Structure 1
Amino acid sequence: MLTRKEFIQISLETNLFFQRIMKEHLFFIQTSLPSINESEIDEANTLKKSFEALLAETVIFGNCAVRNEVLQSNEIVTPFTLRAEQISSKLTGASLNLEITEAEYDLRSDPNFNYTQWLEEKIYNINMRSMNLLEEVINLKKKLLKSQLECEIFTTLYPLLIEHILREAELYMETLKSLQNRKLPDRTRCDDLNFWNQIMEEHAEFIDGLLDPTEEELKETAEELAETFEKILEERCNKNNEKEILNKSLKATENIRAFKKAGTEGLLACKIRSIIIPLLGDHVLREANHYLRILKEMKN
């Protein structure tokens, strides 16, 4: 059973990370569809704005209440997030609430913070509203995937990418449901290692597929990173090899994080030939930062 402080803190940290991830998934869906799919574009845009409103509220409650390690991990925002949003919004014409990002840069941690019953009730409410929105997002992603696989819709997102962002939404939902019952999700370390190693492998594969064919060196690195995570997954994590898998995952994630960071910088400076929008570069960098923080906590 989680204490009040644990419930508030973990809920806020989970929402600060995943609410942004979800609203960016919706931005990617919105900007990947042709104009003929007006209803799907409008639905993605409406859900995106709803998640932005919720995130803006979460940021207010999160100030001083979250752990310093989470803020320092750069999983909430990176030094590149605001610029990536500005460029991506300008290139696509799709709106992004930049004030949220500016507020997130000002987030602080306070070890003497008072976790009150009033705040506990507010966070419970935010979790419920996140779950309600999340249900709609999951349904939209499932609908898009089905339409795409049945050749009834065109989108520039790979089917695997839609499955990928659907899995992330389902993990977020699973986490929130557990938190509302004052528990952590019933997942083993191996479950978490397998989940995020697959996410990292697919990120490398997506990057490889979205880079221009002339970017041979970057494509080769992306392919090597994907193969590294694939090999780790093939070892099938269990209680006997968990420590070894953890160490290998940590090293591989540090490598892909460095690759993503350099890639995001290159995209922002317009020095990489690709069809990768800068916000996608920053998005996958934040997910690597998130996983790296989880791995370090496991190791300690």
Structure 2
Amino acid sequence: MTLSDMFVTRSLDEVRFWSRIMKEHSFFLRLGFRAEDTQLIQEANYFYALFENIEQRASSFGTDTDPNTIMQFNNEVHTAVSYIWAFKRKVLGLILTCQLPGQNNFPLLVDHVSREANYFRNRLTELNQGTLEPLPDAIIDENVFFLKIMADHAKFISHLLDPSERKLVDQANDFSHDFDQLLFQAQDLDSMRPQSQTEPLLSQFLDQNRVSVSSLRDFKRTARELIEACRIKSTIHPLLADHVFREASRFLEIIDVFEAALTGKQPAENMRTLEH
């Protein structure tokens, strides 16, 4: 596969995954707004339609698409993501200044979805600029980001379960604690750069994270199945249960790619960004 082919493949993979995530964020935010928040609801509906269109367009492209076409598409998507990021930060500001009393979006959730939007637009910039981050840096940066995402998910699940679901609440709280600790370890490793970037340390780092992410992914799968079967009490929308499951699966896929690169089974160019 040529570098141009890899650029197209990687770009489409990122846009297909994250545009669906952005679309669903719009839906979840809308569910949390009050009936009188008509302007915010209209904006959320606009972004839902916008990213649904982007998702459909991304699915229409093949891996043989001209890289210049994909580069232009990435730029268009980057603009859309910048707008939804600004919308999310605006909503967060309204919540934190008590201008939306009675709405049902946790401030941490709104911050969480804005961080994911920022991650997405940074990925698009990196892809189009062809800036290849060194493998050790990419491993640490991706894990710091996703470990925080996983810790947030556990906290959301804990707070959205009915208090009577004591065992599941306890499990979610345990995951929250575990991922907070993993995040602290990752941040410590980050502060030790470049001395911490030896292959044995990074390999152990990935192995440890893989075990915990796999356990959380399985917990999310079980929760999703129970919610879909109406077997647990919660305010968790079935789509949200599937949403957080897919993000955990995405993190595991990234760990797989990193591990393959460390062992030489896959070229490092597949990690973050590509020259084209």
Q: TM-score, normalised by structure 2?
A: 0.85
The answer as to 2:68 corresponding to 1:121 is yes
Deviation at 1:46, TM superposition (A): 0.7
The answer as to 2:82 corresponding to 1:135 is yes
Alignment match of 1:239 (pick from 197, 200, 208): 197
Deviation at 1:159, TM superposition (A): 0.5
Alignment match of 1:291 (pick from 230, 247, 251): 251
SS in 2 for 1:35: coil
Q: Which amino acid aligns with 1:36?
A: E
SS in 2 for 1:152: coil
Q: Distance in 2 between matches of 1:242 and 1:156?
A: 40
Q: Which amino acid aligns with 1:29?
A: L
Q: Distance in 1 between matches of 2:127 and 2:184?
A: 31
The answer as to 2:144 corresponding to 1:194 is yes
Q: Distance in 1 between matches of 2:75 and 2:109?
A: 27
Q: Deviations for 1:137-189, whole angstroms, at most 9, x for unmatched residues?
A: 01100100011000001421111111111111001011001111123467531
Q: Distance in 1 between matches of 2:159 and 2:74?
A: 35
Deviation at 1:125, TM superposition (A): 2.4
Q: Name stretches of at least 5 consecutive residues in structure 1 with no aligned partner.
A: 66-114
Contact 1:175/1:184 (8 A) holds in 2: no
Q: Deviations for 1:245-275, whole angstroms, at most 9, x for unmatched residues?
A: 2111100000000000011111111111001
Q: Which amino acid aligns with 2:22?
A: M
Q: Which amino acid aligns with 1:251?
A: V
My pick for the range that moved more, 184-193 or 245-254, is 184-193
What are the within-5 Å matches in structure 2 for residues 43-122 of structure 1? 43-62=43-62, 65=63, 115-116=64-65, 119-122=66-69
Report % sequence identity. Answer: 31
Q: Name stretches of at least 5 consecutive residues in structure 2 with no aligned partner.
A: 190-195, 261-276
Deviation at 1:239, TM superposition (A): 2.2
Q: Distance in 2 between matches of 1:242 and 1:194?
A: 13
Contact 1:210/1:276 (8 A) holds in 2: yes
Q: Which amino acid aligns with 1:229?
A: F
Q: TM-score, normalised by structure 1?
A: 0.79
Q: Which amino acid aligns with 2:5?
A: K
Paired residues in the alignment total: 246
Q: Which amino acid aligns with 1:21?
A: I
Contact 1:11/1:176 (8 A) holds in 2: yes
Contact 1:23/1:47 (8 A) holds in 2: yes
